[in-house]
Each structure stands twice: as structure tokens, then as C-alpha cells.
Structure 1
Amino acid sequence: MTVFLLASLAVVLVLAAFALRPLWTGARRSALALALALGVGTAGLYALLGSPDALDPAQVKAPETLDEAIVQLERRLADEPGSVEGWVLLGRSRAAQQDWPAAAEAFGKAQALLPEEPDLMVELADARMRAAADGRFPADAVALLERAVTLRPDHQRALFYLGAQQLQAGRPAEAADTWDRLLPLVDASTAKALRPQLDMAREQAGLPPLEPAPEAAPGPSLAVTVELDPGLAGQLPAGATLYVFARTLEGGLPVAVKRLPAGDFPVTVGLSDADGLMPAQKLSAQARVQLMARISRSGDAGASPGDLEADAIELDVADGAKASLVIAKVVR
């Protein structure tokens, strides 16, 4: 089983490399979210295939390579062709192998099951473009991108690819308009890479260049001191990880998080917009946040039994605001 998990994890790591690209919008609301989250802390392909002992005799041998793992996934999909997450995982795996026709076929199966999911439309359009001999978006791929933007006007990858296709087709004014819509949606580093492309489209369209990007105003920084209750000092595991994070009062993903080795206490960390996970949800946009601290034995951000944790407190967001957290309980 260990070999199988390692082979599966290789698939997951490949997928994570795709998932962490700039301009990669998160899937939401559908089974696609499961497909894109399968690798978080687990072996995604193993989760899809189940225990090798449960497979038929031809599949009992645990896969030792990515190719073997893909073969088992394809066999499973032959039995369960309605698995959207399975087809997405197969498409991403084939894309990692640069087998774009096979990737396009797999994404096409997924998209047929969820025909109105913009993320799948973009995945399929991308694969079809890469599979095309001339390196251009075929007409059906363009239609997918246009539909994705209609359904989700802020879809970053759809807007980027649609602008690229418009520029490729000799319509720079349309490309400039599309990328003008994209620019305010992306984070600072992605905007820096996009602006030269946008200026090129504007120049070809006879339009003036963009105004220089304004200097980003510094956001507020919170100083959070974390202490460890002396009674738990003996339970601090070697190699543990300390997470300090702020999230909205409603909960959900953190608006700022710091990850560091759990060593000497007390320790003071700063939280600011630079520690955010999502450009659209910033610490500076909150009037008040909930602060938390956790020592993770496994290194994962999610709480697990045996982790050490502080009670959450609330703090008004203001530059220089200070707070103290005491890790004094064990997660059950």
C-alpha cells in the first residue's frame, strides 16, 4: 500500500503544481471542487481508486509509476464513467505527461457531465488549444471561453485566454478590452506580468499605454504574541508547526496566516495583507478579526486530535494593534 500511496502522491503533486499557478481560480459549488482538492494532505488518486485489495485481480498490483496509476484510474472510470472528479484527475495527469489530446478527451468527459461549470470549460479549452497542431484555440475552444466569461465575468483564466485568443486572431482592441477587465481582478505579482501584455495589445490597437501602476499603500499590521502554557510544555512534539492566523468573524479561510516551527515561546509574529491566502479577501478589508494559534503535530493546517491550541480572541484591525494568545488546550 505504501508504494501505491507514493505513486498516487506523485499524481497529486503534479496537480498541485497546476493548481498553484497564477490566474488559477478555485473551483466552487460543484463536484469539481472535490477533484481540485483531492490532494490536500492525502493521496488523491488512492482516494478515487480505493484499496488495491478491493480491485479485480488484474489490478491488484499496486502501481509503481505514474503510468500504472493512470491505467488503474482509467479502469475505474470504465466502471464509473459518471465520476467528474475522476475525469478531471485523469485530464490533469495526461496534461502533466504533455499528452494533450488525451487530456482534452478526459476534460471533455468531465465537462459533458457538468456542462455549465466555467472551470471545466476553461480546462477543456486550454487542452484543446494545446492539442491543436497550429497552437491556436479552435472554434469550439473559443466558444467555451466565451461561455465561461458569460457565466462568470470575473473568471481570471477565462479572461486571460480569451484575450490571448483575440490578440492571436488579430483583434488587439478586443484583447485590450478583455485584459483591461482582468487587470483589477489579479494580485500584484500577476498584474505586474500582465501589464506588458496589455500594453502590447493597446499599442497594436493604436491605444495609449496604461498609466503607471500606483504604489501599493501599506496595509495594517497586527502583532500577535503566542505563549505556551507551562503545563503543556512537556507535550510539545519535536518538529511541530505553529500556525498563527486571523479570519473573519464568520469563519472560513484565514485572511492572514503565518506558519513557522514551534520552538521557543513566547513568540511574536506580524500579520498583514502580505500573509493573505486570497487577493479578494484581505486583512485590511476587515474591521475586526478572530485570532487563533495552533501547534500542529503533523504540519497540516487543519486541527487534528492531539494538536495544541489557543482559545480564539477578537481584535479590531488597526496598524500596530497587539494581542496575546495562550496555547493551553489539547484538541480532542
Structure 2
Amino acid sequence: MTDFWLAAGLLLLLAASFVLLPALRGVGVRREHDRTAMNVALYEERIAALQEQQQAGILTDEQFAQGEAEAARELLADAEQEQSASASSGRWWLIGSAFAMPALALLLYWQWGAYDALSLARENRQAPPHSIEEVTARLERSVQAQPESAENWYFLGRSYMALERPADAAKAFNEAMRIAGRETELMAQLAQAQYFAGGKVFSPEVRSLTDEVLQNDPQEVTTLGLLGIAAFEEGRFADAVSFWERLVNALPPQDPTAAAIQGGIARAKERLAEASVEQGVQQADQPVAQATEPATAQADAPLSVTVQVSLDQALAAKVAADDSVFIFAKANNGMPMPLAVKRLTVADLPATVSLSDADAMMPQLKLSGFAEIIVQARISRSGKATEGQWQGAVAPFAPQTDAAVAVTIDQAM
């Protein structure tokens, strides 16, 4: 801050010069001139009185000369005394003003100036922060120096969120809203902070904020991301996919966060597929209501695939007879959701099962609707279709084939 104080000192010196120089040049001279003129006038009056007394015969020529000399001496003495007093008082007044002016300026700057903000700006320029902790510490000092800066409160809240301090972030965003009003971005950030500060509970306050934000801006990215997170945490995976896909569409091209959001969409779709698998397994476990159907119902038989499932002998000692075995048929297009599923146990192996359109987990997703499918078999000790220890699969094939496909469980997961 040396250059700042040097500049301030030069400015104060310049300002003082506008006062001191004219004063030094003119004030003392004018005062001395005025006093001298008054003394001369008094001297002339005294001489005139002495002349009148001389003419009246009251004073002799010698007495007149003595009175005249005495008046001249008094005139000189008064002039010297006034000059000394004027110079002394003027000099001290000017010196006092020269010191009082900078002191008053410093006092006023200390009271209403922005020294702390200037110091922080200089520090940030000369020594940039190297961690989020340093950034947060400087922002905390900034809001102390400028408590009415909504921008500083906003960035402090963002820093608190990065440090996983959502409760502090919510306080900072509230301060920013107090100053700047109910700005859409501030409300979105506040809703996100309150959601995480409340233990990922979508409270009525958070709901009110997100509703207001989307009413103002249906494509507000922070709110769409938050709604996707809340839906995912609550198991509403279809809603999570919907919110996050809207978020991806709202992001600018080449946004670096798009890849992470796409990963979240993929996970939500996987969870949605797993939930569908569990539902399909439950349906597969239910007994068939009618073992035989009328010949008229069999006239239009659905497409089916015969699968022969066996266990590699090397794994025989590693599995239990009551371990669950799941047989899946999936489309060979990357879609994670199974088309059909059947459930057995290790004790049933080897076994032959049939996967058909009638086993479709969703009416619009049938085996016959895809050119190629993949068949997998999985052993799960927990009995959950989404978990497993060993598996086997066959290469993609056309489901219209009449030949049976063989799947051997021989790989660890």
C-alpha cells in the first residue's frame, strides 16, 4: 500500500498548497499594510495637533521639535511590533492549518472510505488465492468490509457450497436477497442450499422457491438440476431423467457440466430399468392363472426364444442350491432395460426356459420388436436381480430363430 499512501500524501500536499501559497503571499502583507496606514494616520493627526499648539503660542519651536520626534519614534515602534505579531500569528495559523487538513482528510477517509476493500483488491491482485479455502476467507473479509454488497454475499454463498457448508451458504444467499431482492438466480441458489442443509429434504420452503423460479424462468439450470437430484433421491427416476434432460437442453453448447449430467441420466435410466426388472421378477414368480388356454387363444402364439441354462462345473462348489438364477433377454442397442426375465434357483440347473412376447415387461417392448437380442443368466446370492456374483451370456442373435440358445454361467461379475 506504499504507492497508495504516497499518492494520497501528494494529493494532500497539492490541496494544502492552494491554501498556503496565497495566504503566505497576501494575508500578512495586507494586514501589515492596513496597520501601517492606521499608524501613519495617527502620526499625521498628532503632528497637526502639535502645529496648532505651536501656532497658538502654547508650544515653542523646541517643544514642537521634541513632540514631532517623539511621534515619529512611536510610529516606528508600533510598526515594528505589529509586523512581528502579525508574522508570528499568521505563521502559526498556517502551520496549524497545514497539519489539521491532512488529519481531517484521513479521519474522514477512515470513517467513510474503502480502505479495507482497496487492501483486499490489492491482495487479490498481488497474491491470487490457491485454494477454495483461501477464496472463502477473503470473501468473508470482503462482506465484513462491504456488508451491503450483494455480489460479495453471492460469491461467498457459492464458496460455502463448494466447501459443503450449505447452512452457511443459505445465510449468505439470504443476505444477498435482502440487498438485491428476489432475483431468480439468488432464489435458485438459496433453494439448493436449503435442500442440502435440510438433509436432502424437499421442504415446502424449497418447493415454494423452485416453483417461483421456474415460473420466472422455466429453463433455470440450477433449479432443474436440483429437481432432478430430489427426484432421484426419492426414487422417481423417470422424473429425474426428465428434469436432467431439460437441463442438458438448456445448457450452452460445449458446456463441461453436460457430460456429468449425462452420466446422471444414464444412472437414473439404469435404476429405472432395475426397478422394472424387479417388477418383472415379481410377475414371473406369480403362478399362472390358467395352465391351459383354449385353442382359439393359441392360434396367434407370441414369438418365443428357448434358452438352455447350465452351470460351469468349476463353480459348483461356490454356489448354494437356493441361490437365485435370473435369465434376461435384452435388446442389442444399449438399452439397459430387460425385455423379459425368468427366475430359477441353482438347484433347477441345468434348465430350459422360454422367453416370449408374453413375458414382456412393458407392452411396447417385446422380443419381436427388435432385430437382435442378448440373453444373459445371472446367479444372485441376495435374491436381487440387480446384484450378482456369476453370470453367462450369448452373442447377439435374431429372436426369430427356431433353435435353442445355450447359456453357461462361468464368469465372475
Q: TM-score range by the shorter chain?
A: 0.3 to 0.5
Q: Greater helix percent: which structure?
A: 2
TM norm structure 2: 0.32
Flag the structure with more relative contact order, 1 or 2, with Cα contacts below 8 A and sequence separation at least 6: 1
Larger Rg: 2
